[in-house]
Amino acid sequence: MANLDKTYDPSKVEGRLYEKWMEKKYFHAEVDRTKDPFSIVIPPPNITGQLHMGHALDNTMQDILIRFKRMQGYSTLWQPGTDHASIATEVKIVKKMAEEGLTKEDLGREKFLERAWDWKKEYGSVIVDQLKKLGSSCDWDRERFTLDEGCSKAVEEVFIRYYKKGYIYKGARLVNWCPVCETTISEAEVEHEEKNGHFWHIKYPVVGEDSFVEIATTRPETLLGDTAVAVHPEDERYQHLIGKKVVLPLVNKEIPVIADKYVDKDFGTGVVKITPAHDPNDFEVGTRHDLPQVNVMNDDGTINKHGGVYEGLDRYEARKRMVKDLEALGLLVKVKDHAHNVGMHDRCKTVIEPLIKQQWFVKMEELAQPAIRALKSGELKFVPERYGKIYLHWLENIRDWCISRQLWWGHRIPAYYCEDCGEVVVSKEAPTTCGKCSSTKFRQDEDSLDTWFSSALWPFSTLGWPENTDELGYFFPTNVLVTGYDIIFFWVVRMVFSSMEFMGTVPFNTVLIHGLVRDSQGRKMSKSLGNGIDPLEVIHQYGADALRLTLISGNAPGNDMRYYDERVEASRNFANKVWNASRFILMNFENHTHREVALDELIPADRWILSKVNSLVKEVTDNMEKYDLGIGVSKLYDFIWEEFCDWYIEMVKPRLYNDEDTTKAAALWTLKQVLITSLKLLHPYMPFITEEIFTFIQDREESIMISSWPEYKDEWSFKTEEGEIELIKEAVRSIRNVRAQMNVPPSKKAKVFVVSDKEDVRNTFEKGKVFFATLGYANEVMIQAGEEGIDEDAVSAVINDATIFMPFAELVDIEKEIERLEGEEKKLQGELDRVTKKLANERFVSKAPEKVVAEEKAKLEKYSSMMEQVKERLVHLRK
């Protein structure tokens, strides 16, 4: 049997093994009616993306589950693919074109899209290649792209069906608008950052009275679009003003005072300006009170014709001018500093402007109901359950979904307009004749669909829908979706209601939520903080297995985790521990004829470790099934490091080194069984090192990836032997603790007495005498019922049903110990003299800082205590 290299080098192993897995098609899934299916769809990363720690965690968790189920015998599909990422991709391409002095309009739509596809060919596979370095066992033969022909067909089909059912409409509503990219963006693309700003307190004169109301705003420029001011209907301060009017400053237009419970009467002045075209809450108030909607901004963030003298100014320049003019008119009361959250476009970092725009929307009230029922009925579940409440809250308060984007890269909206009468036709192909006016002139809508519209169909569009493919019938619905808590609303909800509408069932049974990977200080990783960790650099330095183990260790569903370099170093050390233990076992197989061993040939130590790994199989399998991946690997880590390596391997060494020992074959057989079982349990977490060792330790299965998952065996349950060995371990720990307290080095051997009046306890130690002597640093082990023959000065340790004795003289060289302690006594006396003299000095005590005096007193107490212990020990030794 060949042996492993002396040291484990991930860089020499991981790439080679991944190529082998790819060549052998181990990742590929087939429809196999003789097996149960298990499927996961990857949250499609953006083609603009680079692997970050969030991706690494998300994909590690998916890979663990898919490898686990593959080994369990399921026909497993991990469906991979990438997202076209409309805004992110277009921003990059436009930026690159700008360097050439070109704009989109210079090229035209078709030429621009040619460039976009070229960009995708060049850069679109970068993140896929990075996922492969992580060990992701996706079925790359089935890789999809949200703009590929099949997914595009599905998107078109869904749009048309929604439209025919009356769920899709075009109308003017408030949207998130990016003035730089000049497009609507989804909530997913808005990042909220706390920024230092101001509250500007402004007077609004009351019409017909010599009085005014005071409002406070963080955006004075939107004042130009105010169409009312509002107070709470129960606010006694302003009852007399309800129904009256105020003069809108700078615009000199009269607007009404309305009453609405939206107003918080205890916040600020209790009066708020209502700008329906520039604030989502104001939009709702305006709708309730039928207020006009006055949009005062152009698409580029400049003030439009409704801004009067401020027309053409950038929104922030207009703000400065308006504040100056309000001050000149005596209408600016005060300016207060105010820190508040500001919505930013995550791509270009521009402050978002809520604007009323003509856009395409999906009506959500009816579509949301089946998605709500799916959770309440248990058809869909979240792990942890608490995220189901967030899902429900969002669905029960859902607003219509804006699905159009002012972009060219994406799925173009399949709507056509008659150029003569304006009739709108939604169809897969451009109409030839207008059914209303018989015109033949049509133009297609210029907008593209929100990226989330296509990714909402991902679980079934990737399997061939709208065609009724074998894969769709077999692998759908998928089993579990793994995703971060930050996109429950944006993606999970949309996949569920889309699937309920078009497939009649949920897209997955379980949503496994994980938290964020934060830095060592608990901060979110970001470019602005410069605290991001590149997973590829970690892989290069420590290996993919070490990174994977770090990300999953101690990771509880839904909770954030912190990344420390020390943790990944510990994971690397664990990999080395597994490697060295495996290498040791393989070395002992050299020149030894391996044979099968019957269970009755095993001694208690063998049965103990076999029983422990058997229980481990049951527990880890149960943890995996319940998605407690972090708990499962923690149990594995502890078992391999402590029980197997630190205990059992040490226990069997005397047998391995003795060719005359008749139980050597049993020891080797047990080592192999436990190692193989441990490797299989560990494989989903650490695929590379387990595969490399597995191919050396056995020759029955060609790859650990397609080997069978361990199962609990009744015949491997040895509870009696477990109790026996745990008792011996307790004795060994007691011996080690005593020796550590006495500073006795491991090389110093001593006689050990095990005293128990119980025959079964004595028998236990008798059967384990050989390895007990080794582990307990004993040159001789005496097992007896009474304390005869034991020196009076023997040190002892009490364990369950027995007492361990060790002759003091054998542990310590008394003359040398006396000499050492006398030296310690002299040293302590010197310290005591120094401190006593210092504290006896009245000048020092009166003038030194109180803290310094207290420190000296503490030293005196400490040295006095140490001196007392040294003297007591000397008296005992000199006897």
Residue 271, classed as helix, strand or coil, is strand
Let me know the angle formed at the C-alpha of 601 by 598 and 603, rounded to the nearest 5 degrees: 130
CB-count burial class (<10 Å; 0-12, 13-18, 19+) for 430: exposed
The CA distance from 687 to 24, in Å, is: 16
Does the annotation list 195 as a binding residue? no
Instruction: Using the CB atoms, write b or e for 206-232: b if 16+ within 10 Å.
Output: beeeeebbebbbebbbbbbbbbbbbbb
Question: Position of tokens 């441990």?
Answer: 678
* Nearest alpha carbon to residue 463 among 39, 83, 129: 39
Q: Hey, CA dihedral for 481, 484, 489, 494, is it positive or negative?
A: negative
Contact 456, 492 (CB under 8 A): no
AA letter at 684: P
253 membership: H or E segment, kind and range? strand 253-259
Order of strands across the sheet that contains 183-185? 183-185, 168-178, 353-362, 401-402
**What angle in degrees, to the nearest 10, is found between the helix axes of 126-133 and 10-23?**
110
For the chain, what is the total number of helices (H) and then of strands (E)? 30, 29
Let me know the angle formed at the C-alpha of 206 by 201 and 208, rounded to the nearest 5 degrees: 160
The CA distance from 225 to 202, in Å, is: 15
Question: Cis before residue 466, ω within 30 degrees of 0?
Answer: yes
* Nearest alpha carbon to residue 793 among 780, 810, 813: 810
The CA distance from 816 to 796, in Å, is: 22
Residue 521, classed as helix, strand or coil, is coil
CB-count burial class (<10 Å; 0-12, 13-18, 19+) for 662: exposed
Q: Residues 6 or more apart from 585 whose CB is under 8 A from it?
A: 649, 668, 671, 672, 675, 697
Which residues lie across from 338 on neighbouring strands?
Answer: 197
The CA distance from 219 to 205, in Å, is: 19
Instruction: Using the CB atoms, write b or e for 32-49: b if 16+ within 10 Å.
Output: eeeeebbbbbbbbbbbbb
Q: Hey, CA dihedral for 838, 844, 848, 854, is it positive or negative?
A: positive
The CA distance from 480 to 392, in Å, is: 19
Question: Position of tokens 């066992």?
Answer: 137
Q: Residues 6 or more apart from 797 whose CB is under 8 A from it?
A: 731, 734, 735, 737, 738, 803, 804
Which residues lie across from 517 on neighbouring strands?
Answer: 561
> Judging by DSSP bridges, how do beta strands 212-217 and 401-402 pair with one another?
unpaired
Question: Position of tokens 């379980």?
Answer: 510
Phi, psi of 125 (to 5 degrees): -95, 0
* Nearest alpha carbon to residue 136 among 16, 23, 11, 27: 27
* Nearest alpha carbon to residue 485 among 396, 394, 579: 394
Question: Cis before residue 477, ω within 30 degrees of 0?
Answer: yes
Sequence length of the chain is: 879
Longest Cα–Cα distance of the chain, Å, equals: 121
AA letter at 165: K
Take residue 230 and report the two structure tokens written for it.
């509002």
* Nearest alpha carbon to residue 66 among 159, 137, 135: 137
Task: List, as residue ranges, the binding site.
Answer: 527
Task: List, as residue ranges, the binding site for ATP.
Answer: 527
